[in-house]
Structure 1
Amino acid sequence: MIKKKRFFINSVFKWSLFLLLNQINFSRKISAKSRPKVVVLGAGFGGASCINYLSNFTDIIDLVVVDKNSWIKTCPFSNLVIGNLLNESNITFKPKFNSNIKFVINELKFINAEKKKVFFVDDLSLDYDFLIISPGIGYKEKQIEGYSINDNTNIPHCWDGENKISYFKKSLDSLDNNCKVIISCPDYPYRCPPAPYERASMIAHFLKGKKNKFKILIFDSKNTFTKKNIFFNEWKKVYGDSIEWISREKGGLIRRFEKKMVINSDGEKINGNFIHIIPEQKAGKIIFDSKLCDDDWCKINPQTFQLLKFKDIYVVGDSIDAGDMPKSAFSAESQAKILSLNLINRILQKAYLNPVFLNTCYSFSSHGRAFSITSWYKLNAKKDKIISLGSSQSTEDGLVDERMRESKEAFGWYESITKNLYG
C-alpha cells in the first residue's frame, strides 16, 4: 500500500512536469526574450531540490543558487556518523550543478524585499525577480538557564549536519566505563521529530562498540514522541536497560544546565558525564535578519509556498509552518516539487497545481536495524493549511529481516536523493 501511494504521487508529479515542459516547448521563443531571474538561497535538500526541478526550465528562467559553502554536509544520516555506521565523508558532497545554473558561494547578510535584492557579508549584492529561501533552522537562546549554543565548551548540538560532529564524537570517546549520558529533547516543532531518539540509539551504539557500560537518560519536553513504542522495543532488544526516557510529566523538562549537571522542572539535580542539549528551534537566521517573519516559523501559502505579505519570495523546508507536515529532508523535497511547478505555472500564467505531499522518515537503532513512518498530506478545503491524510509505520516488534530490509531501503533512498541533487 505504501509503495502504491508513493508511486501514485510521483506519477502525478511526473505527468504535471511533462505537461509543463510541453507548454514551454510550444512558447519557448516568446518566453526566452525576457527571462525572469530565480535565485535560490541555500543548497540543502530543500534548495537543491528546487534547483533540480527548476533546471528543467532554464530556457525560460535564469537560475542562480547561493550557499556559503562549496560543499554540503547533510543533516540526514549525520546521526549514523555519530554511531560509527558512516564516516563524515559519506555525508559530505560537492554540488555539481548544470553549467546553465550559476552557483554563487557567499555568506548572506540580509534580504531587501522592497528592492528585490540579496546582500552578502562582503557588501556584494544580487538582484532577483523571484526568490526561493531554504534557510534550514535557527535556534532559540535562553530556553534553559545556564546553557548557550554559542559556548564552545558545551557539547555541540550537531543538529545541522555540519556542526562539530568530530568534536562530539571525540567527547564521547573520552568517556570512561559506567558513564552517564544526559540528553535534553526540545518541544515540537523541531527538525526531524524522531531524530533525538535515533541520536540516543547511535550514542548507545558508539559506547557499546567501546564495550563500555553506560546509562543514557533522555529528558523530554514532551509527553510522547513519534515511533515511541518501536524505539522502546529496539532499545530493550539491542541495549537492555541502558536507555531510559523521562517524559515531561515525570520531570523531563530541563530548567537549568551546568557543565556536569542539569536541574529539571521538579528541582531534581541530575549529574552526568556527557550532557547533550538539543535546543529549541525556529526559522533560519536570515529570515529574522531580513524581518520576513514575526513568529518562530514562516507563514506561507501552502499551495505555492509564497511567503505571506511578500509576493515574490518563497520559503521551503524546515523554516516554514507546514501545518501537519513534519520538518524533514523528505518533506522539503516533496514541498520543493510543488513550489517549483507552481512557480513555473505562475510565470506561464497557468493554473496552480493542487498538491499532494509525501513524507517518509527512516530511523536507525543499530547497525542493520531501521524502521520508518510514511505519511501523506493534502490541502484543506480553504487551501490555507496542509493536513494529514494518514500514515503507516513499521511493525513495533519487527524481525531481524524486516529491520535489515528497511535499513537497505533507507540507504537506497539516501544514495538516490544525494546523487540526484548533488551529482
Structure 2
Amino acid sequence: MSEQTYRWSSKSLDELVTFYEREIAPERRRDGYNPTEDVPSYQWLVEHGYSGLQYAVREHHQLTLSEFFTQAVGIGEDNSEDDYEWGVQNDQVIEHLEQYFRSQQRGSAAESTLRSKRSRLAQFLRYYEDLHGTAAIVSRITDVADQPEEIQRVTAVFDALDEELESNDAKRRYRSDIDDLYSWLVDRGYGAFNPVRYDHEWDVAEQDNPALSPVQVGQLAAATEDAEERLVVFGLCAWGLRRSELASLHARNIELQVDSPHLTFETRKNGPGTVALIYGQTALEDQVTRLSDRDDWNGYLFSSSDTRRDHVTGETINRRFKTIAARADVRVQGNLPTSKMGRRFWYSTYADAVETIIDRLQSVAHEQGSSDPMVVFQNYLSEEKRRGYLRDAMRDRLEKAFEDKVGQEFSGTTDSR
C-alpha cells in the first residue's frame, strides 16, 4: 500500500493507535520484533511506508514519535497501572480502577490495549468530574433509587465527549470501555446498576457520518444572513474548530497582525495549540472591529444573552449551524448536518491538500533515489516551506468551496494572497 493512501492527517489519535495495532504491529512481528515492547525506529517506518505517521502525530497531536509510542500506544516503558495519573480527586474510584486493571492484566489483553483503555477511561472521569464536581462514579451506582439521575449524568459526559471524538469508531471504543468498567463494578458487587446499559445514541452504526462536500459548504456560506452566521460557517468549515472552541472564542485567542494570522489556544484536546487562519480572516477582523465599538463587549465573539454565561455553548453553535443548513436546504443522508460535519470537511480538505503535495513531490523523490515522497516532504523541505505549501493548497480548496456558490460578494471577506 502506498504512503498517501493512509490519509494520515485525517486520523484521530485513537485511530492512529488502532492503525498501529492492526497494521504496523503485525508487520513488526513478522520482522522479528516484539510489537508490545520494541519501539519502531523512524528508519524502519520509512522503509515500510509509514513515514507519514511522524508528521501526523507532530502536527495534529503535538507528540513526538517517541511520545506517541510510549504515551498513546503504551510500548517502550513501564506501564504499571499503579503509576498511572488518572487526573481525578477521588481515592475510592482510583482504588477500584487499579483493581479493575489488575483483573484485566490477568486476562489476555495486550499492554498496549490496556494503555489505550486507561487513557479513554481517564478522559471520561475527568469530564465527569468537571461536569458534576466529583468523579464519585462508584458511590452513585450503589442505590437503584439514584439510577435516573446517574443515567443523566453519564449521558451528559457522553454529550461533552461527543464534541471531541472525530469518528463513530472512536465513540464505540469509548462506550465499550466505559460500559465494561461499569459492568465489572456491578459484577463485583460494588454497584447496583450500569448507567451505560440504557438507550443512548452512542450505540452507533458501523458507517461513520460523512463530511460535508465542498458544494454543500458553499451553499451554507451563501445562506448566511449576518456576520455571526458567517463566522459560524468559517469557524467550523474553514478553520476546523470544535463547536465548543468556536463558542468560547475570545479576542485574546486571535492573532491577526502577524505574517501568518492564526488562533492561539492555551488548552485544546491535545494541549496548547494554534489554528492557521487561511481563509476568512477579513470577516473575523471586521467582526472584531464592530464588536470593539460596543462599550459592553466582554471580548467573546459569541457573547451570551444569558447573564449566567460569558459566551454561548457549543450546543448553541450547533443549533445555529443547523438553522443555516435548513435555510440552505443542505442535507446529509436525509438529515440536517451537525457542526461536527463542518469540522470533518476541514479534515478531509486538509488530507486532500497533503496528498496533492505528496503527489507533486513524487518526481523529486525519484530523482533523490527514494520511492517515498513523504521523506522529501519531511526531510528536505524546511518547516516554513512545508507550511507554505499546505497553506496554498488549503487556500485553493477553501476558495473554491466558498466562492463557487457565494460569488464575488462573499469572496470579499477572504484573505488576499
| TM-score bucket of the superposed structures, by smaller chain | under 0.3
Q: Pick the structure with greater CA Rg.
A: 2
When you count helix as a share of all residues, which structure comes out higher?
A: 2
Normalising by structure 1, report the TM-score: 0.26
Which has a greater percent of strand?
Answer: 1
TM-score after normalising by structure 2: 0.26
